[in-house]
Amino acid sequence: MHTSLDVLRKFPASLPWALEKPDLLATQAFCKWALLELINKTKFIYSIRLNENNHFLGVMDVHDISWEKKSANVGFWGNVEYQGNGYLTEALTLFTRCMLDHYQFKNLFAYVDEENTKARKLCERTGFDLLEIQENVKRNPVDGSLRNICKYGIEH
């Protein structure tokens, strides 16, 4: 059975953090860092959980925020155990609506490895348009190859 990290590690150029082996100290450091980002209003990270039993479904974040331009990037990943149930589609739809309507963002962007077809389809199902495919812009830290990244956007 694949774990979520096994799937995420297929795209190391866009998800380099997935290559690291999880451990308690790294998790504690991440939580402290995320709290500072929240306090500074530079990044917001959301845990997605199932209402019925609080099972972990995934994570979404908003980062590279420009409060002046009302623009930001979003990131997401889902727990493979719940893949194919529409949970991430529903969560990303609600998440982007909140960012656009409640927080008044004008533009949201998502950057996805060209070969990450599931993430690309998720962007398209949730209202993001493919704006461009940036060729050879991210280096794969595993083998040094250059990767194409798809830039998706949603405008309000």
Average pLDDT, the chain: 88
3-class DSSP state of 44: strand
Contact 42, 76 (CB under 8 A): no
Calpha distance 57→80 (Å, rounded): 8
Q: Which of 101, 86, 95, 23 is nearest to 63 (CA)?
A: 95
Question: Does the pLDDT at position 2 exceed 60?
Answer: no
Calpha distance 25→3 (Å, rounded): 21
CATH number at residue 140: 3.40.630.30
Q: What range does the domain containing 62 cover? A: 4-155
Q: What is the pTM of this model?
A: 0.86
Residue pLDDT, tens place only, 86-114: 999 999 999 999 999 999 999 999 999 99
Sheet with strand 107-113: strands edge to edge: 44-49, 56-66, 71-78, 107-113, 146-155, 129-139
Question: Does the pLDDT at position 117 exceed 90?
Answer: yes
Q: Give the other-Cβ count within 10 Å of 143's Cβ.
A: 8
Could you give the number of structural domains in the chain? Answer: 1
Calpha distance 47→58 (Å, rounded): 6
Tell me the backbone φ, ψ of residue 110, rounded to 5 degrees. Answer: -135, 135
Contact 137, 13 (CB under 8 A): no
pLDDT of residue 1: 38
